[in-house]
Amino acid sequence: MKQTDEKTAIARRLKKLIEENGLDYLMENSFKIYSLLLKEKVASPLSARMILLTLLAKVHLKAKELADAKELAQYIQRSCCLNKEMADFLSSIYVELFSAENQEEWKKKAGMGFDDFCRQEWEFSWDGDCEWRHRGGTMDCSCSATATSKIVNPQQLGSELQQMLEKNPFMASNDIFDYYQLILCDLLDSDFEEYCTSDDYYPPAVEDYDGNFYDLVEEFCKKYGMKLIAYDYSGDLSDFNPDDS
């Protein structure tokens, strides 16, 4: 691979990583990025090692402030103890990565995923299961449910997401949904298990859990600036399964 082609390939790959995960990802996952550059054959082993070194030295943060390639190369020489030729090569990568054009593009993209999330309706889905145990055997409790919500208070939602969006302003709307889906499913899993196992004598009326489901989801929506607009629930309790003798 020619050095010019390699330089551009590395800059483009790092740009994509920033747009997927935020700038902090470069510093927090330096070795993972090194491995990725090798695995995808974006960089030679030497260049990949040098990128790892510069990421560990936080050169990318300095590059974000410096537009002058010569000045950045001098900084790389001092901070990484590299010769001028290698420092110039690395400087050209970071100058291309943090070009005025790219930074302007990032400024426009910041928050777009959040705005998109707030414009849409989202359907959460959940499947619950647990085991009710009584002397001599068990019964399987299972359910399936969906809940559709829309955002009614973006400011409230944005406040709750502030730290995540500061870390990665390019967070996609689907990633934001996955984050809340996980929170809601964890809440429902815990509540469903407690509901089904609270009485060890009488088996649970799993089909009646829909009221609990509705209340919990509605409370969840209010907490995060959403409104529950539709839901569906079905529950099932298996026959008694005697323990093996």
Of 83, 109, 135, the position where a domain reaches its end is 109
Q: Domain of 200: which CATH number?
A: 3.30.479
pLDDT (0 to 100) of residue 4: 65
My answer on whether 121 and 208 are in the same domain is yes
My answer on whether 162 and 184 are in the same domain is yes
Find all residues with CB under 8 Å of 117, minimum gap 6, and list them.
Answer: 151, 173, 176, 177
My answer on whether 98 and 155 are in the same domain is no
| Distance between CA atoms of residues 33 and 54, nearest Å | 12
pLDDT (0 to 100) of residue 1: 54
My answer on whether 41 and 100 are in the same domain is yes
CA 4 and chain centroid, separation: 33
My answer on whether 65 and 140 are in the same domain is no
Residue 179 and residue 196 in contact, taking contact as beta carbons nearer than 8 Å: no
My answer on whether 118 and 229 are in the same domain is yes
My answer on whether 175 and 130 are in the same domain is yes
My answer on whether 190 and 216 are in the same domain is yes
Residue 195 and residue 141 in contact, taking contact as beta carbons nearer than 8 Å: no
Of 109, 124, 139, the position where a domain reaches its end is 109
My answer on whether 91 and 134 are in the same domain is no
pLDDT (0 to 100) of residue 2: 58
My answer on whether 57 and 130 are in the same domain is no
Residue 212 and residue 104 in contact, taking contact as beta carbons nearer than 8 Å: no
- What is the total count of domains within the chain? 2
What torsion do the CA atoms of 35, 40, 46, 51 make, to the nearest 10 degrees? -60
Helix (H) or strand (E) holding 23: none
My answer on whether 144 and 162 are in the same domain is yes
Task: For residue 105, give its domain range.
Answer: 3-109
Of 109, 127, 155, the position where a domain reaches its end is 109
For residue 221, count CB atoms less than 10 angstroms from its CB and return exposed for 0-12, middle for 13-18, buried for 19 or more: buried
My answer on whether 104 and 127 are in the same domain is no
Residue 150 and residue 135 in contact, taking contact as beta carbons nearer than 8 Å: no
pLDDT digits (tens), the chain, 245 positions: 556 699 999 999 999 999 999 999 999 999 999 999 999 999 999 999 999 999 999 999 999 998 899 999 999 999 999 999 999 999 999 999 999 999 999 999 999 999 999 999 999 999 999 999 988 899 999 999 999 999 999 999 888 899 999 999 999 999 999 999 999 999 999 999 999 999 888 999 999 999 999 999 999 999 999 999 999 999 999 998 888 74
149-152: long-range contacts at Cβ-Cβ below 8 A with a sequence spacing of 24 or more? 149/121, 149/122, 149/124, 149/217, 149/221, 149/226, 149/227, 149/228, 149/229, 150/120, 150/121, 150/122, 150/226, 150/227, 150/229, 151/117, 151/118, 151/119, 151/225, 151/226, 151/227, 152/225, 152/226, 152/227
